[in-house]
Amino acid sequence: MTGATVRPDSDMHPSAGVTLLHRATFRGIRSRGLRPWLPVAVVSAWTAWTLRATLTPAAYLDDASMHQQMVRVASRAITQGRNPLTMWFPYLGEGSPQFMHYQSLGAIVTGLFGTVIGPDTAFRWSVLLLVSLWPVVIFVSARVFGLPPWTAAIAAVVSPFVVSVPRVGFEHGAYIWIGYGVWAQLWASWTLPLALACSWRAMENRRFIFSATLFTAATIAFHFETGYIAVGAIVVFPWLVPPDLKARLRRSAVLAATSFLASAWVVVPVILFGKWAAINEVLRNTPLENGYGARKVTDWLVTGRVFDAGHLPYISVLVGVGVVVAWTHWKSDPMYRALLAVFVGCLLVTFGRTTFGEVIRIIPGSSDLFFRRFLMGTQLAGLYLAGVGGMAVVAGSQRCSGWLTDRICRSPDDRQTGRLILTSAVLVLVAVAAYPAFSSTSDAAARNSLEIRAQRAAESQQGPQIGRLIDYVERKGGGRVYAGLPTNWGATFTIGAVPVFKYLESRDVDEVGYTLRTASLMTDPEYYFDEANPGDYMLFGIRYLLLPDGRIPPVSAVRVMQSGAFVLWRVESGYYDLVETVGRITADRSNIADRTRPTIHLPLIQHHQDLVVSFAGSPSRLTEPGPRAVAPRSLPPPGVLTSEHAVLTDGVASVSVRLTRKAVVMLSASFDPGWKATIDGHPSPTMMLAPAVIGVVGEAGHHRVVFTYKGFPWYPELGAVAVLALAAAGWLGGRRPRPPRQSGH
């Protein structure tokens, strides 16, 4: 059998590698084996202590605000006995089926705990525990790969000190309050190491098929881009051991099939409804999406800024030594090939479209990927290699100290003393080299704590002031709130360090301004919202302006009330409008903002006129014939709204209208095929109006129009498929091999 071979520096054969899902986890850990856990426990405890301010209630400055909001929605849904995956998420981008389009397993799991301790509390604890205990995951996964205990311990100990230039990899800066808040990736950072390790072991040992399937499927459900790394490893790993290729390809195929089926409840809806999820047009053709390219990423790697940005590159040195050791063992130990394959493979993908151009299209779903994020795979493999390099340095130091003392010292006692002195000197040098990384991480944690406390203090003073305005909006309703954009004065209109448009999210206010947070078809058009155009307030369903004291509204508005430094204004618009369609445009998810931008800037909607969007080949119809685009005409409105009601959190909106002529009743919510409409109780087809809102055609007369959102209906069936897939993986992993046939004599 070809597989991982015994290494002289290992006290455990790789085939006895441990996993949390196998009884072998603690079988080989005795008093001697417990010692490597101690530094892992110490560094985890230290991380938890330095980041303890994470538990302080405060609005978030980054994407964590959206994730925390998803947890609140999930927790409410679970309490009400509803499935969060089928709900309409109304707060950002004019609404979307966020739990279907976005990786939402982490939000659902945390929301479940939130039903007991509160969703916000559960979210903060999830950040602290997932970050501080990550070294434990690195240690366990390294042991599953087959690395010796102290090698795994070194990898785990250095893991909290990784810092890269982009700061969106597997590092603290990606998750803490002053970082980027990529919380879904944080969940996947726990499952990816185990998915890679178990998948590698499953190539030679079928007992790992179940755990590999479970962790791979979980990685996909937690974070799509991290899931690509897990799936890519399943494809690549079999080819690393050519003599056993056929058997490994069979296991790879089994693992790929069971992983896909176990994650089908996430993957299938995304595939089926992918055309209704927008591509980020604003970031397209930027390094954030296309990747930074080979030259820049390679420069970061060589200069130590993939692992040690801002301090001495001691982790990078250990990674470099580990790469050399792995390369020298390429032929003798396939495990090292696996580590190098993940390290180099993810590095190449990180180069992205900037280097490979349209060739990158061979990756399924490449148009939705942010290639710079794949640097996390290189960092993960680099940690394992850093453990290998660290042990090589220790072994080399011991050999050097032995060689020196044998030649300098005559008596055995002197040799022992000399070795102790030299070993101590090496440890001191290592500590000195590592101190800048320790200091940098400590300083970042201290800044994080200071900023959180300052934010909490600001909210204790200004929160009650703005809270009175929010309470008024919640009582009156009828439309969204606008409090600026990231690209205008909204960036400096803050509570503490948090812009008000982000603070509103922490209060679950339906708003316009916190752009590019979802995959709704309206998220890109929202980026081009023109606050000086009255028609845009109608298109985006805005009824309230929340402005700083002294700022004049950019459009005609009525002052409602003031509280402290915050003033609330009302405009004559809301969730509904009556329009006539006078032209048609074609668009798809890749260009919806670009094709509809003229509509946002034209005064069409002020004259109760709009354009129909023929989306991705879908048919469209007009209330009257018209060219591709027209100039507005001064005609009286086609009718009036007599009453209106909207509970978009429940996916329900209704309005009573009196139409004087045929017209479209427009609901300012992002178009999605899950929205259905009835007129006077009779089903009526919906249509997409520019930029990407919902409309339904009504004839002259009095009508009651009801819009209802129905989510993807087949989650129970796909959930059953996932359970069966895991059961099949467990059966395959536990099935005993057939005994060889004996020939007769």
The 10 Å Cβ neighbour count of residue 18 is 23
| Average pLDDT for 520-544 | 96
Percent of the chain scored above 70 by pLDDT?
Answer: 89
Q: Rounded CA gap, 54 and 145, in Å?
A: 32
Task: Find how far residue 686's CA is from the centre of its chain.
Answer: 32
Residue-level pLDDT at 382: 98
Give the separation between CA 743 and CA 417, rounded to whole angstroms: 65
How far apart, in whole angstroms, are the C-alpha atoms of residue 163 and residue 445? 13
Which residues does residue 701 pair with via DSSP β-bridges, in sequence order?
659
pLDDT of residue 741 exceeding 60, the answer is no
Average pLDDT over every residue of 412-422? 68
pLDDT value at residue 603: 81
Statement to judge: residues 592 and 658 lie in one domain: yes
Residue range 205-235, pLDDT digits in tens: 999 999 999 999 999 999 999 999 999 999 9
Does residue 640 lie within any of the structural domains? yes
CA 344/CA 347 separation, integer angstroms: 5
Q: What is the pLDDT of residue 694?
A: 97
Shared domain check, 623 and 506: no
What's residue 421's pLDDT? 72
CA-nearest of 657, 689, 663 to 675 is 689
- Is residue 27's pLDDT more than 50? no
Residue (of 606, 600, 609, 556) closest to 582 by Cα position: 609
Instruction: Report yes or no on 159 lying in a domain.
Output: no
pLDDT category, 20, cuts 50, 70, 90?
A: very low
What type of residue is 584?
Answer: R
Instruction: Say if residue 582 is in the same domain as residue 496.
Output: no
User: Same structural domain for residues 703 and 591?
Assistant: yes
Kindly indicate the confidence band of residue 740, based on its pLDDT and cuts at 50, 70 and 90. Answer: low
The number of beta carbons lying within 10 Å of the beta carbon of residue 42 is 12
In this predicted model, what pLDDT tens digit does every residue of 91-108 receive, in sequence order? 999 999 999 999 999 999
CA angle 549, 550, 553 (to 5 degrees): 95
**Pick from 570, 586, 611: which residue ends a domain?**
570
For 378, the 3-state DSSP assignment is: helix
Poorest-pLDDT segment among 80-94, 200-214, 317-331, 629-643: 629-643
Render 512-524 in DSSP notation, one character per residue.
Answer: E-S-S-S--TTHH
Residues 611 and 583 in one domain: yes
Beta pairing class for 558-563 and 566-570: antiparallel
| 586 and 553 in a common domain | no
Mean confidence (pLDDT) of the chain: 90
Give me the percent of the chain exceeding a pLDDT of 90: 81
What pairs with residue 670 in β-bridges? 693
532 and 630 both lie in a single domain? no
Question: pLDDT tens-digit profile of 477-487?
Answer: 999 999 999 99
**Are 551 and 482 within one domain?**
yes
Average pLDDT value for residue range 170-197 = 97
pLDDT value at 575 more than 50: yes
The mean per-residue pLDDT over the stretch 185-190 comes to 98
Asked if residue 598 is part of any domain, the answer here is: yes
User: 647 lies in a domain?
Assistant: yes
Helix%, strand%, coil% for the chain, nearest 5: 55, 15, 30
Residue 433 in domain: no
In sequence order, the 6+-apart residues with CB closer than 8 A to the CB of 464 are none
Q: Range of 588's domain?
A: 576-709
Asked if the model's pLDDT at residue 11 lies above 80, the reply is no
pLDDT of residue 232: 97
Tell me, yes or no, whether 670 and 603 share the same domain: yes
Q: Which of 505, 538, 570 marks a domain boundary?
A: 570
- Within this chain, do residues 615 and 682 fall inside the same structural domain, yes or no? yes
**Parallel/antiparallel/unpaired status of strands 498-499 and 609-615:** unpaired
Q: In this predicted model, which residue has the larger pLDDT, 341 or 583?
A: 341
Q: Confidence class of residue 395 from pLDDT cuts 50, 70 and 90? A: confident
DSSP-derived pairing of the beta strands 566-570 and 542-548: antiparallel
Structural domain contains residue 562: yes
The confidence score (pLDDT) of residue 394 equals: 83
Q: Let me know: does 128 contact 48? Beta carbons within 8 Å.
A: yes
- Among 538, 570, 602, the domain-final residue is 570
In a domain, 7, yes or no: no
Pairing of strands 663-670, 576-587: antiparallel
Task: Copy the structure tokens of residue 117.
Answer: 């301790």
Q: Are 602 and 694 in a shared domain?
A: yes
First and final C-alpha spacing in the chain: 28
Give pLDDT, residue 202: 96
Element (H, E) at 364: none
* Residues 118-158: tens digit of each pLDDT: 999 999 999 999 999 999 999 999 999 999 999 999 999 99
Residues 581 and 542 in one domain: no
Beta bridge partners of 126: none
Is position 450 within any domain?
A: no
Cα dist. 383→170, 215, 340, 407, 654 in Å?
Answer: 10, 19, 11, 36, 55
DSSP 163: B
Given a cut of 50, whether residue 111 has pLDDT beyond it is yes
Query: How many distinct structural domains can be found in the chain?
Result: 2
